[in-house]
Chains A and B, each alone.
Chain A
Amino acid sequence: MPIEVEIITGRTIDQGKTVEEKLTEEYFKAVSYCELNEEDFRSLGLKEGDRVKIKTEFGEVVVFAKVGSVPKGVVFIPIGPYANQITSDDTDGTGMPLFKGVKGVVERTEENVKSIKEILGVE
């Protein structure tokens, strides 16, 4: 059963360390996952290495799922191309997209996590 969540994006050390090597496996690993609250993680029937599909009104994306220190109902994704499939492109006139606080749903999926080039649509 999909659960309703609020999605926040942010920096991580691993994302930062690899940000100038975006075409590497290390960068892919650093940005293609999300963190869920342990309770949400269990209720989706997930185990380490499983994938989830996150959907918002702006798009959808498949990423790996991990348990993280986020409250129930909140999903964290490192900033990057995966996060940007589902963040809001509406700036409400400020110029700043809503990178944190977009509402969406998360569900377990068997679909694969796309490569960065696939995400970008250049391959």
Chain B
Amino acid sequence: MLILKPKKDFEVSVEAEITPDLAEKSEEEIKNFEVWYGKYKVKLGELFEIKKEGDEKKLILDGDFSRVKWIGRGMTEGEIVVKGNVGAHCGAFMSGGKIVVEGNADDWLGAEMSGGEIVVKGNARNLVGCAYYGDLEGMKGGKILIEGNAGNYIGEKMVGGEIEIKGNAGDFIGTEMKNGTIIVHGDCGFVGGDMKGGTIKIGGKFDLLPSFKKAEDGWIGDVNVGGEGKIVKI
């Protein structure tokens, strides 16, 4: 297990593509692991206090990581626990393991992830589980649970997996989604634009698009793409 603590309030954001694999490395290697601080490549040890406790594949990020991006990028196994907030692209491309964010998550949480689990105890911002610009598929598998609220553009171009939001979500949920499930317990804006398949379950109020047809247990669409996606009230 590896415990990281920011040494200071960062002037600009830090890009640290760290995964639980790092916990297996020697203390020396961990200290010298390169991260980006603005345009400077710096050693992890320069920005963070490092404490290693055994070889378990687990990272404890203790403190405010809201200005640290790309945490857990492409991780395959192990666990990351963020004690505070976390920066953008957390868990992007991850295929396995678990990330728990005790605070809030920034944009692009779990973007294009294909497996594993992300739990955010606070709120998440925009583009959760989405596809990066130009890519044709967003989230492919795994699960994202947000216990608070989420922002706009959730699960765009999703082809698998599940996103569950306990609170409210913003606008444009499940746009161009092909498969998988999105659950919003609270309210949200437009839902399922151009969705081809998959299911969106909503507990609260939302904006229904005119390109959906009423079905027995909700709505089916989007007719503009000959879609068979389902919007279901829960």
Q: List the B side residues contacting A48 at CB < 8 Å.
A: none
With an 8 A cutoff between CB atoms, is B126 at the interface? yes
State the main secondary structure of chain B at its contact with A.
loop
Q: Is the interface of A mostly helix, strand, loop or mixed?
A: loop
Any A CB within 8 A of the CB of B125 = yes
| Distance, CA A100 to CA B108, complexed state (A) | 24
A-side interface size class: under 10
What chain B residues lie within 8 Å of A93 (beta carbons)?
A: 107-108, 125-127, 151-153
Q: Flag whether B170 is at the interface (Cβ < 8 A).
A: yes
Least CB distance, A100 to chain B, in whole angstroms: 14
Query: B182-201 interface mask toward A, CB cutoff 8 Å, 1 = contact, 0 = none?
Result: 00000000000000000000
| A92 within 8 Å of B (CB atoms) | yes
Chain A 89-108 residues near chain B, CB threshold 8 A: 92-93
Rounded to whole angstroms, the CA-CA distance of A93 and B172 in the bound complex is 13
Determine the distance from Cα of A93 to Cα of B126 in the docked complex, in whole angstroms: 6
Q: Mark A74-115, 1 if CB is under 8 A from B, else 0.
A: 000000000000000000110000000000000000000000
- Since A93-B107, A93-B127, A93-B153 are in contact, a sample of 11 more A-B pairs with Cβ atoms closer than 8 Å, ordered by chain A residue number, is A92-B126, A92-B151, A92-B152, A92-B153, A92-B170, A92-B171, A93-B108, A93-B125, A93-B126, A93-B151, A93-B152
Using a CB–CB cutoff of 8 Å, the interface residues on chain A facing chain B are 92-93
A-B pairs, top 6 by smallest CB distance, nearest first, are A93-B126, A92-B152, A93-B107, A93-B127, A92-B126, A92-B151
